[in-house]
Amino acid sequence: MSIKTVLITGAAGFLGSHLCDRFIKEGYQVIGMDNFITGDKKNITHLQKHANFSFIKHDVTEYIKIEGDVDYILHFASPASPIDYLKIPIQTLKVGSLGTHNLLGLAKAKEARLLIASTSEVYGDPLVHPQTEAYYGNVNTIGPRGVYDEAKRFQESITMAYNRFHGLETRIVRIFNTYGPRMRLNDGRVIPAFMGQALRGEDLTIFGDGLQTRSFCYVDDQVEGIYRLLLSDYSLPVNIGNPHEITIKDFAEEIIKLTGTTQKVIFKDLPVDDPMQRQPDISLAKKILDWEPKIGRAEGMKITFDYFKSLSSDALYKSEHKDFSSYNNK
């Protein structure tokens, strides 16, 4: 039986690099693609000499040419943190629209199955809790976060159009808050922000009153859900995340306890359109994928904190976005 080939865009990013690892482990030929706008070469250095891994530096918003057969495509190229998509809003919109269009065209030409990385942000600041795939969302199209939210909503729409009009095999994963090794300390999301502040001896910054909730999924669980969805026969969106909800205030206290630090928590104004609740309903994933998260928050956070502790002091303190730490508790 011939080895199947998978193209993973955003391969040098947090989730993309873990997906490369998983598909290498499963015996696939993996082609990684990234333009390093937000990705990091270090995330895939360990794969560079692997016989089943190759890499192409490329911006997916430009025409994509791949030699040979491609069986699967996973589109994970996109800024995913608020710091990034507020800094590069046009690129964020383009990678969700032009990039997705290019990859749909490639999938059609190669007769490949395409899985796109959508997000819980398509639900906006939800009026339904927990969020099911049937909920249409509450999104401000012209707000500062709209560049990311609407890019992902358009991505879902054009993917389903190709599925229905061209009969293309497509999959859509709606990813909820995910964490683990290889997250960037300065990317503005709450876990690296809190852990970075703790390691630097700074007070932990909460935006708003801290009563907003999030649900955190460890990266290995997320990758398992994505892998199962790709190989399933289900083409509509599926939530993949951990339904165990916690307030940001309580989470900050967990981080202080985990890190053994004595910092206090400080509060700042809540940014525009920051969602007050985020919790996935994973009933569909349980039913069609036989999937649910296995790794508890205490275990996952310890692994993640040990990873951040292992970084050099230069990496710990080097942050051009330091003033935006924990920007929106995403």
Same domain, 116 and 196: no
Same domain, 210 and 159: no
Q: What amino acid is encoded at 298 in this protein? A: A
Residues in CB range of 184: below 8 A, 6 or more apart? 14, 38, 40, 81, 192
Q: Could you tell me if residue 288 is inside a domain?
A: no
Q: Could you tell me if residue 9 is inside a domain?
A: yes
Domain CATH code at residue 58: 3.40.50.720
pLDDT band at 315; cut points 50, 70, 90: low
Residue 307, classed as helix, strand or coil, is: helix
By DSSP bridging, strand 213-215 and strand 245-247 are antiparallel
Same domain, 90 and 60: yes
Q: Could you tell me if residue 329 is inside a domain?
A: no
Q: How many domains does the chain have?
A: 2
Q: Are 132 and 239 in contact (CB under 8 A)?
A: yes
Same domain, 152 and 268: no
Interval 207-233 mean pLDDT: 96
Domain CATH code at residue 192: 3.90.25.10
Q: Could you tell me if residue 12 is inside a domain?
A: yes
Strands (E), the chain: 5-9, 29-34, 53-57, 72-75, 113-119, 170-175, 178-179, 204-207, 213-215, 217-218, 238-240, 245-247, 265-268
pLDDT of residue 275: 76
Same domain, 95 and 204: no
* DSSP letter (8 states) at residue 213: E
Q: Which residues of 77-97 are buried (b: 16+ CB within 10 A; e: fewer)?
A: bbbbbbbbbbbbbebbbbbbb
Catalytic option among 148, 162, 218, 327: 148
Interval 169-186 mean pLDDT: 95
Interval 77-82 mean pLDDT: 91
Same domain, 82 and 203: no
Same domain, 134 and 235: yes
Q: What is the dihedral of CA 253, 214, 173, 158, to 10 degrees?
A: -130
Does the active-site annotation cover 85? Answer: no
Interval 231-246 mean pLDDT: 97
The two tokens of residue 132 are: 């099911």
Q: Are 228 and 217 in contact (CB under 8 A)?
A: no
| Tokens 């795939």 -> residue | 133
The two tokens of residue 214 are: 């999030």
Euclidean distance between CA atoms 88 and 84, whole angstroms: 6
* C-alpha to C-alpha distances, 80 to 1, 30, 88, 107, nearest whole angstrom: 37, 22, 11, 23
Model pTM score: 0.93
Q: Could you tell me if residue 330 is inside a domain?
A: no
Vertex 208 angle, CA 205 and 212, to 5°:
100
Q: Could you tell me if residue 306 is inside a domain?
A: yes
Res 322 pLDDT > 80 = no
Same domain, 225 and 255: no
Mean pLDDT of the chain: 92
Interval 15-41 mean pLDDT: 97
Q: Are 184 and 14 in contact (CB under 8 A)?
A: yes
Q: Are 12 and 19 in contact (CB under 8 A)?
A: no
Q: Could you tell me if residue 286 is inside a domain?
A: no
Residues in CB range of 202: below 8 A, 6 or more apart? 263, 325
CB atoms < 10 A from the CB of 325, how many?
23
Q: Could you tell me if residue 85 is inside a domain?
A: yes
Euclidean distance between CA atoms 223 and 174, whole angstroms: 12
pLDDT band at 52; cut points 50, 70, 90: very high
Euclidean distance between CA atoms 184 and 189, whole angstroms: 9
Interval 227-234 mean pLDDT: 98
Helices and strands: H and E segment counts in the chain? 10, 13
**Whole domain around residue 101: which residue ranges?**
5-177+218-240
Q: What amino acid is encoded at 285 in this protein? A: A
pLDDT band at 312; cut points 50, 70, 90: low
Same domain, 153 and 300: no
| Tokens 């876990």 -> residue | 191
The two tokens of residue 87 are: 């800094």
Same domain, 136 and 23: yes
- Look at the chain and count its residues: 330
Res 321 pLDDT > 70 = no
pLDDT band at 318; cut points 50, 70, 90: low
